[in-house]
A = this chain, B = another copy of it.
Amino acid sequence: MLDQTIKNFISKDYFSLSASLSVGEAINCIRQYDDSSLHEYYLVNENQVLCGRVTLHCLLMAQPDQGIQTLALKNCYTLNAEDDQEEAARLFRQHSLFSLPIINDQLQLVGIVTYADGMHILLEEDQEDIERMMGISGEGNAVAYRDLTISQHIKNRVGWLVALALLGFISGSILMHYESALDQLVILAIYLPMIADSGGNAGSQSASVITRALALGELRLKDAWGIIRREFAISLGLAAILALVAMGRVWFFTSDYHLPGDLSVELVMLCISMALSIQVITSTLVGAGLPLIASYFKQDPAVVASPAITTLVDISGLLIYFFLASKLLLNG
């Protein structure tokens, strides 16, 4: 499920301190309440409005007759019950929180997310991201592998598999369309898997890097243009290296191979490394762009699964490859 709110994780069984208490009175309240899982306490005014927090440590350091308001820490990260649980995970992780207060629109304290629940949400979100990247539906609800029945496992996995098997049909049609090109120049088939796979790999890599950076809050949607430019620069470098590898491979292999007509090895090298370069650049940009587009439409970037990218750039790879081959090698 996308956008699960933190509602289910709000503990109502929390304990707040009136901001008007003295340190000695506060310690007495804490003693009476006796909940060993709490390490900090939230202060509220007479209207239940959150106005700070105190840790056990600062209560211990203070004089008993001091007002707790004077030693309260004002910097509280807060969320609303309707906020996405992903946001809570991010706050726990980035700011090493021990608990997270939840307030309503009137700024009143309505509950807390405990440390243990924070860890649980973090785990769910991470798992959800990974599963989505791999095209497993599930609901990221951190159910252990063993606790799912076999038919639930099948249900989680089959959706993408069927969708992508159907999409693979498009690649098949492209192959059939270029049947005559393959017929004339069988050597094209040899480099086909390299073009398709390299695209899938480059696309999955950039997608996972960008998805992760968005999830951790390192990158924001407003950086989109900068990210695309950066990925473009990275893909140029990758394309150059892979083009050299492909050239070496063609040179090494084609010396034994009888090329039809007046085709030169150099032209085949040029065609295959150009196709590979364009494919790697396109795929890297597609891989980086899709999570950004998902994020623009307020979807989880991880929803753009790696298998989907692989299948997509399979199609683009075939088009690039056969287009170049028919122009350069077959004069088509």
Q: Which residues of chain A have a CB within 8 Å of any CB of chain B? A: 27, 30-31, 34-36, 38-39, 55-61, 92-93, 96, 98, 115-116, 119, 122-123, 126-127, 129-131, 133-136, 144-146, 150-151, 153-154, 157-158, 160-162, 164-169, 171-173, 175-176, 179, 182-183, 186-187, 189-194, 196-198, 200-202, 204-205, 207-210, 212-213, 216, 218-219, 227, 230, 233-234, 237-238, 241-242, 245-246, 249, 276, 280, 306-307, 310-311, 314
Residues of B within 8 A of A241 (CB): 154, 158, 161-162
Number of copies: 2
Asked if residues B150 and A237 are in contact (CB atoms below 8 Å), the reply is yes
Q: How many angstroms between the C-alpha atoms of A157 and B208 in the bound complex?
A: 12
Q: How many angstroms between the C-alpha atoms of A129 and B172 in the bound complex?
A: 33
Residues of B within 8 A of A227 (CB): 145
18 CB-based A-B contacts, threshold 8 Å = A36-B57, A39-B39, A133-B133, A134-B208, A134-B306, A150-B233, A150-B234, A150-B237, A153-B234, A157-B238, A158-B241, A165-B198, A167-B197, A169-B190, A176-B187, A176-B190, A200-B200, A310-B310
Asked if residues A242 and B154 are in contact (CB atoms below 8 Å), the reply is no
Residue of B nearest to A237 (CB): B154
Residues of B within 8 A of A115 (CB): 96, 98
**Among candidates B38, B190, B208, B314, residue contacting A193 with C-beta atoms closer than 8 Å:** B314
Q: How many angstroms between the C-alpha atoms of A245 and B165 in the bound complex?
A: 8
Residue of B nearest to A208 (CB): B134
Residues of B within 8 A of A186 (CB): 176, 179
| Contact A157:B205 (CB < 8 A) given known A150-B230, A242-B165, A311-B197 | yes
Residues of B within 8 A of A190 (CB): 169, 172-173, 175-176
